[in-house]
Amino acid sequence: MSNAAIIITIILGFLGVVIKRNLIMKIIAMDVMSTGVIAFFVIWAARRGVFTPIYKPWRELAYADPVPQGVILTAIVIGLSVQALMLVGVMKLARNHPTLEVESIEQAIAADANADD
């Protein structure tokens, strides 16, 4: 059940990146997608058990696997920094393209590129 929800989150995020016309919306959609991927890691790590992986000799429990959880921390940090960078880029683009509609930006870029070709 939760697996299906996560896959749907990822697909919705991806669709958002492709379909949304506004640059900010695209970045938010990408964040949704990366949240889905993080949850994907967490759910696979909890496949054999859901208890916090801290070993205590007197507890006989089904622990979650700590490795995917540890690894995904790296991906969370990378995702954050990439988004911060992209938002800075978007801020700079907004100076000349205040609506941030992808179509209008690409038209302006294409006109510029054709002049060069």
Binding residues for other proteins (CB under 8 A): 10, 14, 17-19, 23, 26, 30, 33-34, 37, 40-41, 44, 47, 67-68, 71, 74-75, 78-79, 81-82, 85-86, 89-90, 92-93, 96-97, 102, 105-106, 108-109, 112-113, 116-117
| Minimal distance, residue 89 CB to other proteins, in Å | 5
Looking at the Cβ atoms of 17 and 58, the one nearer to other proteins is 17
| Minimal distance, residue 106 CB to other proteins, in Å | 5
43 burial class (0-12, 13-18, 19+ CB within 10 angstroms)? middle
Q: Round to whole Å and give the CA distance between 87 and 70.
A: 27
Looking at the Cβ atoms of 15 and 61, the one nearer to other proteins is 15
- Angle separating helix axes 23-45 and 102-116, nearest 10 degrees: 110
Q: Please state, in angstroms and as integers, the Cα–Cα distance from residue 18 to each residue in 8, 12, 24, 44, 116, following that order.
A: 15, 10, 13, 27, 28
Looking at the Cβ atoms of 11 and 61, the one nearer to other proteins is 11
